[in-house]
Structure 1
Amino acid sequence: MIPKLLPFLCFNSLAGLCVGQGDIRGNGSLPKPSLGAWPSSVAPAGGNVTLRCWTPARGVHFALRKGGAALELPQSPGSPEGPGEFHLADLQIRNAGEYTCEYYRQASPDTRSQPSDVLLLLVTGHLPKPSLSIYRQGKVTAGEKVTLQCQMPGHFVVPMMFALLKAGTSSPLQLRAPTGKETDFSLGSVTAGDTGKYSCVYYQTRAPFWASDPSDQLQISVMVSPGTMSSDYTTGNLLRLGLAALTVVIMAAFLFEAWYSQKASTSGSSLSGPHWKPGAGALEQHGCWDPDYSEQCGRDTARSGAKAPPCLPGN
């Protein structure tokens, strides 16, 4: 039973994480990888960023592209089971842009995967910083809606976009087009997980992708009312609690079955043995156990003048 469930769990729960080396789509192409930036895809000039290209396939080689052009960047040596990592040090404005990655097998370098989704790397510090404000000051109660406004210091002719950042996250939370000099970001039905430091930047949507310095950080604290379920109780946590409860029920059922079987076995052995013929005192208390002994019991009680006890049917 368990071996039959493994493929189902692998497909549904892990979303393809169990794919092996033979994972090739019906049209012969390899599935596209994912590309991420650490510590963040919005980094200051002079900083360092690591681009990580990941795929469930094993034993492959990775290639990085910027604006469609292949980059001659050495891939960090590591485990063949891990992602491909490309390090960008001392970032400059020339490093800003749109990146993708792909992978191939050494035995067939001409057969490459589909490119990953585009990752926009922004190098900040080339435009004046904006300001970030919140419509409601102070602490926020869980479940409320929070609106943040990011405003640039002047007007720009070239197309611009705003990005909302949160300390500790590797990519912008939201992207918004401006309305005049500003834009609003909304955090709906906030939870304790939304507590943190926020900032915003604005940037050009075309090359050379100039980006502003980040705004001053804005601290948001979300209070969870007593008796309110915390955001930590996610769907995954509830599923784990359900599985734990199911395990307890199954164990209780096994224990009850073992207890009942033992009791039935003990009762069966006492009833299936030879008939026990009690003495006179026991007969007066419990009656007779079989027809032959019942008759003798009746005669004995008649001679003694005592009231005959009820006789039980024999086995």
Structure 2
Amino acid sequence: MMAGFLSLLFFGLCAGQELRRDESLPRPSIQALPSWVLPASSHVTLRCSTPTGEIDSRDIRFTLRKNNASKISSPDSPEGLAEFHLTDLKTSDAGEYTCEYRTESPTRRSLLSDVLLLLVTGELPKPSLHTHHRGEVTAGENVTLQCQQPRHVIDPSMLALLKKGTSTPIMVQGPVGVETDFSLPSVTRRDTGNYNCVYYLPMAPFLASKPSDELPIWVTDSPGATSTDYTTGNLVRLGLSAFIAVLMVAFLVEAWWSQRSSPRGSR
């Protein structure tokens, strides 16, 4: 009987070793497409992958976890990449997602990826977003966007500044009173776009508000930059014209000298 117990103990230890995370394996990454902040009834793809070229990806299988519990296992992922499709999102889909992978021969288990927070908006009243720079903004200026939560919201929450067309929030921070400022220092034309903000509870069930109304920001070049661009263009054109003129003079001089030095015809 003791021999049987020792055999079971040995088997359990071996199984435990197979499940132990191998720190030598590269950590996988996880991202949400098109974004990790989405309205209810939309669709999202959670993509897990390993660093390219750092591991033989022929026998990899990924597992997606939600709130540190196993959720979905992928089929074999020969390219070192797996996509998990969540459709018709509901509030219950919000949470903290991670992924890991296993290899065969030998069986090894990777570390968990960084945590990806998935938010499904619409459960809380929407905030408002304001700025003193509504409309056009000159490049180089500092722009402050102010997200204001409804005054009756008392639960501690986080706020995220979003920009249409980007997959991740521009900024995330805790509230400072009812109004929270997001600063965009020294804006450039790349900051042009439509912005909104949401607030959310940073713990289960991760309820999130409706997005605020969009606030358009249009960044234009500063007059000095435009003038400098024109001046530079003019200098380039003048330099090119002078170079062509010098070449023409050189050709004329060479032709004159060749004609003068050539033997004259008999008289």
Structure 2 length-normalised TM: 0.70
Look up the match of 1:52.
47
Change beyond 3 A, Cα 1:198–1:28: closer
Specify the structure having the higher radius of gyration (Cα): 1
1:101 to 99, 102, 106: 99
2: CA distance, partners of 1:83 / 1:180:
43
Change beyond 3 A, Cα 1:73–1:94: farther
- Post-superposition offset of 1:148: 0.1
Letter in 2 for 1:114: L
Higher relative contact order structure (alpha carbons within 8 Å, sequence separation ≥ 6): 2
1: CA distance, partners of 2:197 / 2:27:
31
1:185 is the counterpart of 2:182: yes
Change beyond 3 A, Cα 1:147–1:71: same
Q: For residues 168-247 of structure 1, what are the structure 2 equivalents within 5 Å?
A: 168-225=165-222, 228=225
Letter in 1 for 2:36: S
Look up the match of 1:128.
125
2: CA distance, partners of 1:134 / 1:68:
39
Which 5+ residue runs of structure 1 have no aligned equivalent?
1-26, 230-315
Look up the match of 1:10.
none
For residues 172-194 of structure 1, the C-alpha deviation after alignment (integer angstroms, 9 at most, x for no partner) is: 11012112212000011111111
Letter in 2 for 1:94: S
1:72 is the counterpart of 2:77: no
1: CA distance, partners of 2:189 / 2:120:
30
Look up the match of 1:306.
none
Look up the match of 1:87.
85
For residues 73-112 of structure 1, the C-alpha deviation after alignment (integer angstroms, 9 at most, x for no partner) is: 555x8x7225210000111111100011111213344x21
Secondary structure in structure 2 of the residue aligned to 1:132? strand
1: CA distance, partners of 2:106 / 2:155:
44
Percent sequence identity over aligned pairs: 58
User: Whose strand proportion is higher, 1 or 2?
Assistant: 2
Look up the match of 1:155.
152
- Post-superposition offset of 1:171: 1.3
- Post-superposition offset of 1:33: 1.2
Letter in 1 for 2:127: P
**Is residue 94–residue 117 contact of structure 2 (8 Å, CA) maintained in 1?**
yes
**Is residue 29–residue 114 contact of structure 1 (8 Å, CA) maintained in 2?**
no
2: CA distance, partners of 1:163 / 1:73:
31
1: CA distance, partners of 2:172 / 2:128:
16
2: CA distance, partners of 1:145 / 1:203:
26
Which has the higher mean CA deviation after the structures are superposed, 147-156 or 66-75?
66-75
For residues 98-157 of structure 1, the C-alpha deviation after alignment (integer angstroms, 9 at most, x for no partner) is: 011111213344x21111111000000100111001122221111111000001112333
2: CA distance, partners of 1:81 / 1:74:
12
Secondary structure in structure 1 of the residue aligned to 2:92? helix
Change beyond 3 A, Cα 1:217–1:33: same
**Is residue 142–residue 187 contact of structure 2 (8 Å, CA) maintained in 1?**
yes
**Is residue 129–residue 148 contact of structure 2 (8 Å, CA) maintained in 1?**
yes
Look up the match of 2:33.
38
Alignment size in residue pairs: 200
2: CA distance, partners of 1:113 / 1:106:
12
- Post-superposition offset of 1:54: 1.6
**Is residue 155–residue 181 contact of structure 1 (8 Å, CA) maintained in 2?**
no
For residues 223-261 of structure 1, the C-alpha deviation after alignment (integer angstroms, 9 at most, x for no partner) is: 1236739xxxxxxxxxxxxxxxxxxxxxxxxxxxxxxxx
**Is residue 134–residue 216 contact of structure 2 (8 Å, CA) maintained in 1?**
no
